[in-house]
Amino acid sequence: MLPKSQRLRLSQDFTATVRSGARTGRRNVVLYARVRTDDPQGDNRFGFIVSKAVGNAVHRNLVKRRMRALAAQNPANASGLDFVFRALPGASEIDWNELSQQVSSGLESVVRKAGAKHEKGL
Sheet containing 45-50: give its strands across.
Answer: 22-25, 29-35, 81-87, 45-50
The reported pLDDT for the residue numbered 82 is: 95
| Average pLDDT value over all residues in the chain | 92
With residue 83 as reference, give the H or E element that holds it.
strand 81-87
| d(C-alpha 116, C-alpha 91), whole Å | 28
pTM for the structure as a whole: 0.91
| d(C-alpha 90, C-alpha 37), whole Å | 34
What average pLDDT does range 70-90 have in this prediction?
88
- Structural domains for the chain: 9-120 (3.30.230.10)
50 phi/psi in degrees, rounded to 5: -135, 105
Place 109 in a pLDDT band, splitting at 50, 70 and 90.
Answer: very high
